[in-house]
Amino acid sequence: MKIADAAFLSLLICQIGCGKTAPSAKNTPLAQSTSTASKTYPNAKAQANQLNDAVLSGDYDKAADLTYPRLIQLIGGRAKYLAMLKGGMDETQSDSFRIISTVSDDPTDIIEVGSDIYAILPTTMKIKVAEGVLVGQSTLIGVSNDRGEHWTFINAGKGFNHERLKILFLAVADRLKVPEQKRPVLQRAP
């Protein structure tokens, strides 16, 4: 199971990124903000799943388009991000280990700051292994700068901590409630 944990962590790190190093006005706290789960933003879930599908199908350009720009910049630009994403997926996919699905659910926590929206999206990943299927839970953080029309995402899986939140999302770092990632569960083949 130790190999499975390492592989799952590796996949989560590679799967989805996070972006820009230079401070921007978007990371400056604004006086008015709200936290809500009552509003719905259907594009968040739809676009998160477009990202998941792009990664699994090898459409890394589309995946980069749906990745929060701050990560891409932190990594050193789009070309480096694409190489890291492709390399990570190539390294983790094999005959004995294959991601079979990654599905994001509706946002569970939404924070609005001006026209920016931050959302937590629970995500389930299933990985085929020799012993059966590993099912793991992770979290995407979605960000919209246009009131929910378009979204970009980062994976806030294992290893993601409050310090990273502060680097990426200064305006809401103390209010984003990122669930702790749990170990994947093995569903044995019958």
pLDDT per position as a tens digit, 1-31: 444 443 343 444 444 333 323 333 343 333 3
Domain boundaries, the chain: 2-188
Among 3.10.450, 3.30.420, 1.10.357, 3.30.2420, name the CATH number for the domain at 2-188: 3.10.450
Q: With CA atoms as reference, report the closest residue to 45 among 128, 140, 138, 116.
A: 140
pLDDT per position as a tens digit, 146-156: 999 999 999 99
The CA distance from 92 to 98, in Å, is: 7
pTM flag (> 0.85): no
In order of 32, 51, 107, 111, the CA distances from 40 in angstroms are: 20, 19, 8, 12
